[in-house]
Amino acid sequence: MGLHRVSCHAGLVDGDRTRLGPGTRRIAARFAEVVCPPEVRAGNLRDELLGEFESMLPVLPAGVRWSVRSGLVAFDQGARLYPRARGRRFVRLADDAAQAYLRAVLTCKRGGLGAALQRIKGLVVFCYYELPEVKEQIGYRPDAYIAAVSQRRLASYGPQILAGEVALLAPGAAGPPDGTRPDTGTRPDTGRDRR
Amino acid sequence: MSAAIPAGLTQQSEVSADLRVECGVVIVGSGAGGATMAAELADAGVDVVVVEEGGYHPTESFTAEAGRALRTLYRDGGIGLALGNPPVLFSEGRCVGGSTVVNGGMSWRTPGRVLRRWAEEGVAAISERDMEPHFAKVESRISVAHQDPETIGKDMRLLKAGATAKNWKIIPNLRNQLHCAGTNNCTNGCPTGAKRSMLVTNVPRALSRGARVFADCRVERITRSKGTITGIEGRFVRPGGRRGPRLTVRARVVVAAGGAVQTPALLARSGLRSGSGLLGRNLTLHPNAKVIAFFDEEVTGWHGVHQAYQVREFIDDGILLTAVNLSPSLVALGLPSHGRELGQVMGEYNHMVTAGCLVEDRGSGRVRNIPGLGPQVFYQLTDQDAERVVRGIALTAELMFAAGARRILLPFDGAPEVRDPARLADLLARPVPKKSIELFTVHLMGTARMSEDPRRGVVDSFGAFHGAPGLFVADASLFPTPIGINPMETIMALVVRNAENLIEQRGRYRI
């Protein structure tokens, strides 16, 4: 009963994982090969992706976790009903047939499997684009940028920032003095009356 | 990450046995409402305990990894779903500092027209003049100001260029920031501490004045004895979600500040009922939808502040436009393509601008506790709101074309990409099925609405629960109606006002 239910993901320490069983992991791996760009097969990207996927699972609501697992299994077994699969499971399909089957399910408006699969696909590609090598490939390098602008901030406004931090805890003060805030001459408003 | 744990803050790892604590006021939640209430009461010398379900994650721990942020700073990995047609994805923060740790840092006063409407809904002392000192105090506390110009990135300059070309009103955002560096990492936690979230403002202020904060602790219920509020009972949560020791807090006043989903759920599972029948109802959520616009030139939208401008041309119609850069993983999550095609689209990541609209909704929803599942959100988008979302998307796309976009992806299931305004108009001239619209929100409001009249509100004008003396609400649940803009400053100003009122009644509550 929800009354005393403790959310299974509260208090999570980053690094916790929900290990997929070998069967589901195999489906997830093949699914990742089909939904992600072809580069996922290079190096050990696929295994890294699965690691990221397993670390996301424990934080999801229980119902979503269940639908991810059961959706993958249903998608795998459902391939047997797809004419081009000739009775084989998804994990046993060649690339062309696997792509065609995926497209057929994703565009299917009946039964809910298409919508569920779209969400699973979203989660898998999310994990793919979280991998450092993939971010690098598309030119997304936030760490260096963050380090540079953080340094610029301190160099440009160090004394004002320090004054603001001190004022925050000062007795009686509401917060940082006006001089520490950018362009405080502007009266905050709702922006409704100015063009 | 090696930052010291602040004095007065207790994490689950430090608790090995059941704990019993006494105080004057116990506050459930440490976001915009809870932390502000804690700071105000602690300033006045009240003995305050804050209980937060999420963990303590200091500024030094924040990185640009969206996955890590979703796992540690958000409830349910950032994937909440309001069931309805269409379903609406939503995100809530869950960490010390609450959603202010992961929001975009926009800080706007409640529009006067909204305050006037609230007065008509039976809320006392809510005029612009009444609220002025509270807004001013909040703005000073969290350093509300415009961005330093060097932090404004190209995606924002394109938004401004598009609005200027259309001759639409665009204004610089007011943000709670102390010389923001423009890291574009707001939603993963500000890595410099420049965003003045509760984590770096009201939580440390409250701690410095003797408040105690218990992190990693889920409040299971509010306790009462013979109709009198007596405190709360909760459980620390161990890694992996295992149940830890109990926390029992005895207090004369309980403040529920868990947000518009968790607060009504907590009150309901504690057996509290509102005579109005409105507890958990009246949910509004500012539905958002986004387009992805592709430019020939490199945009590198992750260079520069998260949001520098808002287009206010259509605010009287309840439509707000802006641009928000998303991490590659979040962009990919929402794209319809897969495989090689997905790779091609994402290969242009640095040429994208993600822009969208927010609609001040007129529909409503509710929060219910579902046995075995916990709080569940239901929301029905009205036909009128759906039309406004489609209009907002059309306007956003027009603006992006005016800024030089060469093609645009729309948030409608199965919609083709559009390459010119004429094709856009043609496409949107036909009805867009409601169920095909992909909606998202981070603004949930209204589930314990204020009114002096117990038949029209769950709490009175100052957040006191009708019929349960000693119980207060202090979050966006209070809003009688949606406000059409970012809600953080409204929550904080209401709570400053309500805290002042509570302090005036210290004798009554013996706190």
Q: What is the DSSP string of B234-251?
A: EEEE-GGG-EEEEEEEE-
- Same domain? For A102 and A158 the reply is no
> Rounded distance, CA A32 to CA A22, Å?
15
Instruction: List pLDDT tens digits, range B460-490.
Output: 999 999 999 999 999 999 999 999 999 999 9
- Same domain? For A132 and A152 the reply is no
Name the residue in chain A with its Cα closest to that of B490.
A190
Any idea which residue has 């295992």 for tokens? B242
* A191 falls within a domain: no
Give phi and psi for B420, each to the nearest 5.
-160, 160
User: What local confidence, expressed as pLDDT, does residue A14 receive?
Assistant: 52
- Same domain? For A123 and A57 the reply is yes
Q: Quickly count: other Cβ atoms within 10 Å of residue B333's Cβ.
A: 21
Domains and CATH numbers, chain B: 9-72+94-143+190-280+445-509 (3.50.50.60), 149-174+286-360+382-436 (3.30.410.40)
Last residue of a domain, one of A105, A121, A137: A137
CB of B205 within 8 Å of any CB in chain A? yes
Q: Taking CB atoms and an 8 Å cutoff, what residues of chain B touch A41?
A: none
* A81 falls within a domain: yes
Q: Taking CB atoms and an 8 Å cutoff, what residues of chain A touch B218?
A: 6-7, 10
> Rounded distance, CA B166 to CA B399, Å?
7
Instruction: List pLDDT tens digits, range B51-92.
Output: 999 999 999 999 999 999 999 999 999 999 999 999 999 999
Cis, bond preceding B86 (omega within 30 deg of 0): yes
- Same domain? For A82 and A15 the reply is yes
* A147 falls within a domain: yes
Residue A9, pLDDT above cutoff 70: no
- Same domain? For A65 and A157 the reply is no
CB of A139 within 8 Å of any CB in chain B? yes
- Same domain? For A122 and A28 the reply is yes
Name the B residues in 257-296 with CB < 8 Å from any A CB: 269
Residue B57 a catalytic site member: no
Instruction: List pLDDT tens digits, range B269-327.
Output: 999 999 999 999 999 999 999 999 999 999 999 999 999 999 999 999 999 999 999 99
- Same domain? For A123 and A166 the reply is no
- List strands edge to edge, sheet with B243-250: B19-22, B243-250, B228-237, B217-225
* A97 falls within a domain: yes
Q: Taking CB atoms and an 8 Å cutoff, what residues of chain A touch B493?
A: none
Closest alpha carbon to B336 in B410, B419, B427: B410
* A15 falls within a domain: yes
Structural tokens at position B204: 């440390």
CB of A10 within 8 Å of any CB in chain B? yes
Q: What share of chain B is helix, strand, coil (3-state, %, to 5)?
A: 35, 25, 40
Is the sign of the CA dihedral B489, B495, B498, B503 positive or negative? negative
Contacts of A169 (CB under 8 A, 6+ apart): B204, B205, B208
* A28 falls within a domain: yes
User: What local confidence, expressed as pLDDT, does residue A20 receive?
Assistant: 85
> Rounded distance, CA B44 to CA B60, Å?
31
Name the residue in chain B with its Cα closest to that of A137.
B347
More confident residue, A178 or B7: B7
Last residue of a domain, one of A122, A137, A152: A137
Count how many domains chain A has. Answer: 2
> Rounded distance, CA B493 to CA B131, Å?
7
> Rounded distance, CA B486 to CA B107, Å?
7
CB of A162 within 8 Å of any CB in chain B? no
User: What local confidence, expressed as pLDDT, does residue A16 receive?
Assistant: 57
* A166 falls within a domain: yes
* A5 falls within a domain: no
- Same domain? For A27 and A121 the reply is yes
- Same domain? For A80 and A157 the reply is no
- Same domain? For A130 and A149 the reply is no
The two beta strands, B170-172 and B88-90, are unpaired
- Same domain? For A125 and A147 the reply is no
Is B66–A55 a contact, with Cβ atoms under 8 angstroms apart? no
ipTM over 0.85: yes
CB of A168 within 8 Å of any CB in chain B? yes
Whether B60 and B3 have beta carbons less than 8 Å apart is answered as yes
CB of B419 within 8 Å of any CB in chain A? no
- Same domain? For A61 and A152 the reply is no
Q: What is the DSSP string of chain A?
A: -GGGPPPTTTTPPBTB--PPPHHHHHHHHHHHHHHS-GGGGSTTHHHHHHHHHHHHGGGS-HHHHHHHHHHHHHHHHHGGGSGGGTT--GGGS-HHHHHHHHHHHHT--SSSHHHHHHHHHHHHHHHHTTSHHHHHHTT--HHHHHHHHHHHHHHHHHHHHHHHHHHHHSTT--SS-GGGSTTTTSPP--SSS--
Instruction: List pLDDT tens digits, range B311-322.
Output: 999 999 999 999
Instruction: List pLDDT tens digits, range B82-117.
Output: 999 999 999 999 999 999 999 999 999 999 999 999
Is A5–B485 a contact, with Cβ atoms under 8 angstroms apart? no
Whether A188 and B144 have beta carbons less than 8 Å apart is answered as yes
Full domain range(s) for residue A65: 10-137
Name the residue in chain A with its Cα closest to that of B71.
A59
More confident residue, B372 or B344: B344
